[in-house]
Amino acid sequence: MAHAPTAPRRERREPGEVFGSGFTLFADMLLVSLLTSAACLPVVTAPAAFAAASATLRQAAGNSVQVTAGTYGAHLRAHLSARSAALGLVPPLLAVVVLIDAALIRAALPGAAVMAPALALLVLGATVVALRATALETPHLLSAREALLRSAADPRGSLLLTGGVILGGLLAWSIPLLIPLLPGPLAFAATVVDLRSPADALEN
C-alpha cells in the first residue's frame, strides 16, 4: 500500500521570517504570555516581566533557542532590580490618575469633550513608549528616554505597535478571559518593532 509522501521539515527560514514557522511562534507566545502574566502579579515586577519576555523572544529569534520556562526565568532574574521595581510603581500611579480624570470627565465639567480624547491618547502613547522601553537591550534597558526617542524617530513602528495595543485593549474589554494571553503578543510586537528598526538605522 503506497503512502502519501510527507513534506520534509523545513529547516531554513524564509526571508523576513523572524521567529520560525508553523505553530512554533504560536506556542512560544502562549508560553511567554502565561509566564509574563504570572510574573506581573506582584505589579511592581511588570517592567521586568515584559523585558524578560522580549529578551526571551529576541534570543529565540537570534540563536534559535527554544522558549522554555527556565529560559524566561533566567531573563526575569537578570532584569529584576530596585530600578525595575521602582518603574513598576508608575503604571498603578498612572491608572489612579486616569481613573480620577475619567471621573472628572463624567461629571460633565467644562472642557470634558476635549479632555476625554486627550486622556485616551495620553494613555495610548504612554503604553506604546513603555512597551518599546521593555524591548530595549543593554545599555538602554528600560530607558524611557531612549524609548521616547525611538518612538519619535520610527513613527511607522510606533504606529504598528499602537495598533497592537488597541487590538489588545479591545480583546481584553470584549473577552476578559484572554487577558492572561495578551502579554506575549504585545511583547512580540514590541520586540519585532525594535528588531526592524535598530538604533544604528535610526541614527542614519
Q: CB-hemisphere CA count at 13 Å for 141?
A: 19
Identify whether 69 is part of a domain.
yes
Per-residue pLDDT of the chain (204 residues; tens, 9 = 90+): 444 444 444 444 555 455 555 567 778 888 999 999 999 999 999 999 999 999 998 888 776 667 889 999 999 999 998 889 989 998 888 888 778 777 777 777 777 777 778 888 888 999 999 999 999 988 888 888 999 999 999 999 999 999 999 999 999 999 999 999 999 999 999 998 988 865 544 444
Determine the pLDDT at residue 23.
Answer: 64
CB atoms closer than 10 angstroms to residue 154: 20
157 domain residue, yes or no: yes
Is residue 174 domain-resident? yes
Q: How many domains does the chain have?
A: 1
165: in domain: yes
Outline where the chain has alpha helix (H). 24-39, 46-63, 69-79, 82-87, 90-106, 112-134, 144-153, 155-174, 183-196, 199-203
d(CA 100, CA 88): 20
- Closest to 127 measured CA to CA, from 141, 109, 144: 144
Classify residue 149: in a domain, yes or no. Answer: yes
Q: Scanning the structure block, which residue is given the C-alpha cell 498612572? A: 94
Q: Do 180 and 35 touch, CB atoms closer than 8 A?
A: no
pTM: 0.80
Whole-angstrom distance, CA of residue 150 vs CA of residue 155? 8
Query: Can you read off the three cell numbers belonging to residue 56?
Result: 526571551
CB 48 within 8 A of CB 81: yes
Separation in Å, CA 40 to CA 71, 84, 102, 145, 183: 17, 12, 25, 23, 10
Q: Tell me the residue range of the domain where 31 lies.
A: 24-198
Task: Specify if 4 maps to a domain.
Answer: no
Q: Is the previous residue joined to 15 through a cis bond, with omega within 30 degrees of 0?
A: no
105, 106, 112, 117 alpha-carbon torsion, rounded to 10°? 80
Cβ–Cβ under 8 Å, residues 43 and 59:
no
Q: What's 111's DSSP letter? A: T
- Whether 19 is covered by a domain: the verdict is no
116 in any annotated domain? yes
